[in-house]
A and B are shown apart, each in its own frame.
Chain A
Amino acid sequence: MSKGIAITGMGIISSIGNNVEENYRSLIEGKTGITRISKIKTIHKDHIMVGEIAFTNQELEQQLGLTPDNDYSRTALLGAIAAKQAINNAGISNINTYKTGLISATSVGGMDKTEIHYHDYFKDKATQKYIAGHHAGDSTQKIAEQLGIEQSLVTTISTACSSAANAIMLGARLIKSGQLDRVIVGGSDCLSKFTINGFKTLMILSDTYNTPFDENRKGLNLGEAAAFLVLESDKVVQAENKPVLAYVKGYGNANDAYHQTASSENGDGATLAMQKALKIADLSSSDIDYINAHGTATGNNDLSEGRAILRVFDKHVPDFSSTKAYTGHTLAAAGAIEAVYSVLALQNNVIYPNLNFKTQMKEFSMTPQLELKEKELHTVLSNSLGFGGNCSTVIFSKKQ
């Protein structure tokens, strides 16, 4: 059993940076990663904006030292890059010294390859190497291989947009219960025609920069990203005399049980998730210094989440912002991306501005943090809400 769940390493690649430092710089400089799409051929290119990572697949393969006959999807490439950064950041040289697991999250998986080679598979034998990589677990197996994790607990969670938050949650529980000493948790999703068109049919893609919590919000921008965190038990931290970046203090998952895709009007699921996380953390709502909101900038999410925040925090809503205006909505990776941002907020005592906000929503009087704010932070709460009514909250703290 481990009392504390220490975060000892982080890695990230997103449209606002190829590592933790670059991401942090963009966040404090208010630099968005949202652009027109360049890497995927789509008829929607002039009507949508995305958070795209600059590197091509080839460049990513080179960084990983993969041979040209590799069968990595972009999800696997991004995930492997971020996970390796996290291991390095945690100063891990031999990964199998301790019982180490890997929990990854994805929704796209190898879909990027399937949609490109949909017809080619039958004609071009060279493309067939990607067939077995379509399923969601494939990218996780590859990340484990890249990290040298063998004979261990390696699994994948897919609960749509809350996936990576749930990976963090499972990792924390595995450490707490003593099943693992160390676990790498996070998620990876690349952009794909599948998700672009999917969200397009739901008519929730903005044709311009997304504007979380704004009255006139027009929907979300999709993004691609991967992020991983190294969680370690008290035992490992003590034995290795590890510097701890922050702690996973609380977590909660609940289901909205309202609609297959939409969130309930009153944010029942999100409310329950936040309340559960506070209970596990043994904190009261007034202990939260900053909320990194899910804030996708869809009409439905921001209203539902806003109401849930009001239900939990009532008249004392702490500073909050959504970082989706920087990265776009990175789907299954979002929970891990925003976990890294939450830890960076704690480390640097800053709250990031909620970009592009102009007008308060008419349903309630809530204004997100609009300027970069320096403030001593002790605890940060991060929400991730998804299709299938899946609602998750993770609480990070400076002290155990």
Chain B
Amino acid sequence: MKPVYINSLGSISCQKTFDNSSFLDEIISYEDHIILAVDPNYKDYISPANSRRMAKGVKMGVVASKIALNEANLETVDAIITGTGMGCLKDSEKFLSAIINNDEQFLTPTSFIQSTHNTVGGQIALGLQCKGYNFTYVHASISFESAVLDAKLMLENNEANTILVGGVDEIEDYTCSLHKLVNHIKKEKVNSTDLLRSKTEGAVFSEGANFFVLSNLKQESSYAQIVEIRTYNTLGNTSITDTASAFLKENNLNTEVIDLLILGNNGDVRYDGFYNELSAGIFKNTQQVYYKHLCGEFNTASSFGVWLASKILKTQKLPEQVKLNNIQPSNYKTVLLYNQYRGENHSFTLLRRC
């Protein structure tokens, strides 16, 4: 089996992450319950003729993928695999509200054709004229992880050499108003720095796109090696501690060799317990990091976690603002990421410096 590397990346998030030459040099702090991605100049990447039908999610995905391709110095790839939890929400809602408010009359096709979950993957393929394998995963908080798992399978077995993999989700007003109704979005506005101390239900919702070129060929510019990725629909009767230990054991590792634990805490008092169990338990002597105060919560927010891990592994720098504790290892070699959303769809991702 061939090793799998993260050769390049492109990120559009609530922070200014679209410029690969910087790494969270300047952090934007928010006081809100819904936060939006910082827009790059989309016109620098997409012509008006091509962008006229694209909602923000599609633009974010297309541009993040272009940034990643540019960094890897590639014109195209062998396959494109996308993860999106909610898909193209803006166009779905636009079409749905038109159906309901106009009693099914005078409907136009554009928002419908742009509403399918694989619009981003399809548009990237169209732009690159890439006729290779093209999949879209839509499974809540493991949508991105499913895409990585699929890509890893292909690269290990030499079915492809370069694959564009990404996670993308966009904010849309109606959907947010529903998630407020059921307290999935926090009732109150929260300051980014106080997220984990909020002690309230729900998360701060957000959006973004993080794309990566994965390859079984290492480049000078490679960020990290993806050693393992595993998803769990539920934990059954097993604790997260036992699940984590079993995962490490299967990879012939133990907690001591993990230099950095990257957690997906979102400040939801009902579900942060999964993270707290690990941080106060078997990983209490490990340097811990969180990131959803920077990028917010969305189904593919964990792709921002992988972006963060990649940057840390390559630069060997750990921004102050992401630290959960101060246990400084001598260097960052092995990184474990853990994420879940509302107690379901847990994932572990294991990265190594390369």
Nearest CB of chain A from residue B108's CB, rounded to whole Å = 6
Which residues of the other chain, B, contact A114 by a CB distance below 8 angstroms? 96
Bound: A115/B117 CA distance, A: 17
Choose among A122, A254, A256 the residue that contacts B133 (Cβ–Cβ < 8 A): A254
Q: How far is the CB of A156 from chain B (nearest CB, A)?
A: 4
State the interface size on chain B (CB cutoff 8 A).
71
In the complex, the chain A residue whose C-beta lies closest to that of B238 is: A151
What chain A residues lie within 8 Å of B99 (beta carbons)?
115, 193-194, 197
Q: A212: which B residues are within 8 A, CB to CB? A: none
Report the bound CA distance from A155 to B117 in whole Å: 14
Most buried by B among A155, A156, A177: A155
* Chain A hits for B319, CB < 8 A: none
Chain B 118-132 interface mask (CB, 8 Å, partner A; 1/0)? 110111011011111
Which residue in A42, A115, A128, A152 is a CB contact (below 8 Å) of B96?
Answer: A115
Residues of A within 8 A of B179 (CB): 131
- The residue from A128, A137, A259 contacting B138, defined by CB atoms under 8 A apart: A137
Complex partner residue of A197 from B104, B178, B235, CB under 8 angstroms? B104
Q: Is the interface of B mostly helix, strand, loop or mixed?
A: mixed
- Tell me whether B193 is interfacial, beta carbon within 8 Å: no
Residue ID in chain B nearest A145 by CB atoms: B234
The interface residues of chain B lying within 8 Å CB-to-CB of A268 are: 131
A174 located at the interface, meaning its Cβ lies under 8 Å from any Cβ of chain B in the complex:
yes
Establish whether residues A198 and B125, one from each chain, have CB atoms under 8 Å apart when the complex forms: no
Docked CA distance A174–B150 (Å): 9
The yes or no answer to A231 lying at the interface (CB within 8 A) is no
Question: A311 near B: Cβ within 8 Å?
Answer: no
Interface centre among A102, A131, A390 (most CB of B within 10 A): A390
Task: Say yes or no for B233: interface residue by CB 8 A criterion.
Answer: yes
Contact of B344 among A42, A44, A141 (CB under 8 A): A141
**Does the CB pair A158–B112 fall under 8 Å?**
no
Interchain CB contact under 8 A, A131 and B112? no
A299 to B344, CA, bound (A): 43
Q: Which residue of A lies closest to B142 (CB)?
A: A155
Is B217's CB within 8 Å of the partner chain A? Answer: no
B121 touching A121 by the CB < 8 A rule? no
Q: Are B122 and A136 in contact (CB under 8 A)?
A: no
Contacts A132-B184, A159-B118 given; does A390 touch B104 at CB 8 Å: no
Q: How far is the CB of B244 from chain A (nearest CB, A)?
A: 12
User: Is B275's beta carbon under 8 Å from chain A?
Assistant: no
Using CB atoms, name the residue of chain A closest to B76: A257
Q: Which of B85, B108, B113, B137 contacts A135 (CB 8 A)?
A: B85
Q: Chain A residue with minimal CB distance to B99?
A: A197
- Given known pairs A255-B122, A257-B131, the reply for A387 and B116 (CB within 8 Å) is yes
State whether the Cβ of B107 lies closer than 8 Å to any Cβ in chain A.
yes
Distance, CA A64 to CA B66, complexed state (A): 47
Given A140-B139, A388-B121, A389-B126, A255 and B132 contact (CB-CB distance below 8 Å): yes
Contact of A260 among B114, B135, B140, B231 (CB under 8 A): B114
Tell me the nearest residue of chain A to B117, going by C-beta: A158
Tell me, in angstroms, the Cα distance from A132 to B85 when the chains sit together. Answer: 12
- Let me know if B117 and A136 touch, CB within 8 A: yes
- Chain B nearest CB from A92 CB (Å) reads 17
* Chain B residue with Cβ nearest A167: B135
A389 CB contacts on chain B under 8 angstroms:
122, 125-126, 134
Known: A135-B85, A151-B243, A155-B142. A202 touches B233 (CB 8 A): no
Closest CB-CB distance, B127 to chain A, in whole Å? 9
- Does A153 belong to the interface (CB within 8 Å)? yes
List A residues at the B interface (Cβ < 8 Å).
42-44, 102, 106-107, 109, 111, 114-115, 118-119, 121-122, 128, 131-132, 134-138, 140-141, 144-145, 149-160, 166, 170, 173-174, 177, 179, 193-194, 197-198, 200-202, 253-261, 268-269, 272, 386-390
